[in-house]
Amino acid sequence: MNGHVVLPAAPQAAFLTAPPRLPRTPPASAVQTPAARRRHGVKAPTPRGRSTPACLFGKGDDGPRRSVFTDAPPPPPPGASPAADAAAASRALEAWLVDNGVYLSDKSTWGRSPHPLAIANETTDDGEPSGRGLVAIKGVVQGEPLFKIPLKVLLTKEVAVEAFGKAVLPPSTDDFIAMAALLIRERSLGAASFYAPYLGVLPADEELTPLFRWSEEELTPLAGSPTVAAAASLRRKVRAEFADADAADGLFGRSRSVFDPAVYTYEAWEWAFAVLFSRLVLLRGSGTLALVPYADLLNHNPYCGAYIDTFKENFTGEGYVCVFTDRPYGKMEQVYTTYGQKTNAELLLLYGFVVDRNPYDAVDVSVAVDEGDPLYERKREFLEGAGQEAGTSVAFPLYADRYPMELIEYLRFCVASEAEMDGGADWGDFVSERNEVCVAQALLGACTAALEGYARTLEEDDALARDRGLYAMLTLKQRQALRQVRGEKRILKRTIANTQREMQTPRMLFTSLNAA
């Protein structure tokens, strides 16, 4: 029996990023004319940096608005400081949202309660920077809709098809590819883009650090972790997708007058995919993938049960996206959403962060029929007959407190004796004490081999994390890597300890008590 830990295949739509260098003047083909804007059903852009959002400091439609983050002094000029620029970008986004019908006032009006949130330009989670976030500026009750974002400000494949035209971007184009093209185009338009205020609050390129963008050197502290292979796999996919699009018969290659090679570069492509991976949401009901401005400022909390949904206004028939809270929030508390039940490896790969105490964290262990097993051929043929392709190796997730029963069933088969095979055993059930002990040994072997693959032991990692002086010298990526490998090693060690304990009573070794 051999065993090693691997990550599941990288996400299907995983593609890529690096901040594109923007041309000073957008190519003529990329400039959005007022006529085109009308065709796309969007309003003329609010020039970036031109005005102070009325909703915060002026007397706009909603009257004066107080913001806990922007109270008092007038905004400093652009470029005064990174913090001032970030605040100005947030205000520009709010003004744009208000212009497009989002109610952000902290006053109630007929039929509308005060908007309970404000943008925090700098937040922290688990002691690490987590960029912008949304914070309650008044108490929020459970189930309260936090905001209504009109569908017209969303970025979707449909918008991309409209923007480029069906002849250039057929509706059958993959969602990620269509939206990557749209993002690159809108960014190249600069202030002329309808979405400029939204693009203005996206993290700076160097702040977009999903694992697939890490350099070889940056990946070094993750040596031994299945995340390294996952990052390489995702990087390859993103590159391959770009190569396809860039080929003479690909999306870009076919329409070079629209897709200027100086704008639609690999760097721009990677940037767009990093944005999409970390911000796209799947809207329930319609099944549409969308970038939802403002809603995508919500940070992730794995314990959060908030949900996002679309609905239609009764009178106007206009569509909205709404986020509903799962619990009450007090004033000044950061309000969260969930990006789904993701492992830390998935969060690191796609979003660039790791969550301490993540209840969904898991490490995949890959198990296979031992090639030295005299029954190897018979077992391989059996698996192929059952539809399993490419050998006998299968990956299963190990959680801190459980493992999937399918892993045990598969191991029971892998270690089965001839008599057990002949007897047509039900692998979902106890087969024999011998079989059960072999399963335990195989599991221990897989976990031990995985632990031996790391450069450092868990104890050495723990010592590094405890050493304040040394820890403070680590870069953010090094700290994320340390948290990632410590989490993986803890799960592997816990599985070893649990399995060794359970081996005391082999008859009851792998009951559903431990299984997921």
Ligand X SMILES: C[S@@+](CC[C@H](N)C(=O)[O-])C[C@H]1O[C@@H](n2cnc3c(N)ncnc32)[C@H](O)[C@@H]1O
Binding site for ligand X (CB under 6 A): 125, 128, 130-133, 203, 278-279, 296-297, 299-300, 351-353, 355
The residue (of 119 and 258) whose beta carbon lies closer to ligand X is: 119
The amino acid at residue 142 is Q
Shortest reach from residue 57's CB to ligand X, in Å: 23
Q: Are the beta carbons of 291 and 279 closer than 8 angstroms?
A: yes
Q: How far is the CB of 353 from ligand X (least distance, A)?
A: 4
CB atoms within 10 A of CB 116: 22
In the complex, minimum distance from the CB of residue 394 to ligand X, in angstroms, rounded to a whole number = 31
What 3-state class would DSSP assign to 147?
A: strand
| Three-state secondary-structure class, residue 495 | helix
Which C-beta is closer to ligand X: that of 89 or that of 168? 89
- 33: CB partners within 8 A, 6+ apart: none
Q: Which is nearer to ligand X, 200 or 224 (CB)?
A: 200
CA 135 to chain CA mean position, Å: 21
Which lies closer to ligand X via its Cβ, residue 125 or residue 246? 125
The residue (of 23 and 359) whose beta carbon lies closer to ligand X is 359
Q: How far apart are CA 97 and CA 153, in angstroms?
A: 8
Per the listing, tokens 């700098």 go with 122
Of 9 and 204, nearer to ligand X (C-beta) is: 204
Contacts of 7 (CB under 8 A, 6+ apart): 226, 227, 229, 230, 345, 349, 364, 395
Half-sphere exposure of 3 (CA within 13 A, CB side): 28
Q: Chain centroid to CA 189: how far?
A: 26
* Shortest Å, Cβ 137 to ligand X: 18
Question: Between residues 128 and 309, which has the closer beta carbon with respect to ligand X?
Answer: 128
CB of 405 to ligand X, least distance (A): 31
Minimal distance, residue 154 CB to ligand X, in Å = 14
Question: What are the φ and ψ backbone dihedral angles of 11, each rounded to 5 degrees?
Answer: -50, 145
Give yes or no for a contact between 339 and 308, defined as CB atoms under 8 angstroms apart: no
What is the full DSSP assignment across 373-393? -TTHHHHHHHHHHTT--SSS-
Q: What's 20's DSSP letter?
A: P
Query: Which CB sits closer to ligand X, 161 or 482?
Result: 482
Pairing relationship of beta strands 334-337 and 299-300 according to DSSP bridges: parallel
Q: How far apart are CA 374 and CA 372, in angstroms?
A: 6
Least gap, CB of 122 to ligand X (angstroms): 9
Residue 284 CA, chain-centre distance (Å), reads 17
Nearer to ligand X, 53 or 352 (CB): 352
Q: Provide the minimum distance between the beta carbon of 127 and ligand X in the complex, in angstroms, as a whole number.
A: 10
Q: In angstroms, give the least distance from the CB of 335 to ligand X.
A: 12
Output 18 or 416, the one with its CB closest to ligand X.
18
Beta bridge partners of 135: 118, 334
CA distance 262 to 382: 53
User: Residue with the closest Cβ to ligand X?
Assistant: 131
For ligand X, which is the closer residue by CB, 303 or 471? Answer: 303
The distance of closest approach from Cβ of residue 203 to ligand X in the complex, given in angstroms and rounded to an integer, is 5
E strand or H helix at 128: strand 128-129
Q: Which is nearer to ligand X, 119 or 369 (CB)?
A: 119
- The amino acid occupying position 144 is E
| Site of tokens 């990006």 | 339
H helix count then E strand count, the chain: 17, 15
Minimum distance, C-beta of residue 3 to ligand X, in the bound complex (Å): 32
Q: 3-class SS at 104?
A: coil
The minimum distance between CB 288 and ligand X, in angstroms, equals: 17
Q: Please provide the size of the chain in residues.
A: 516
**In this structure, what token pair is assigned to residue 470?**
């040394």
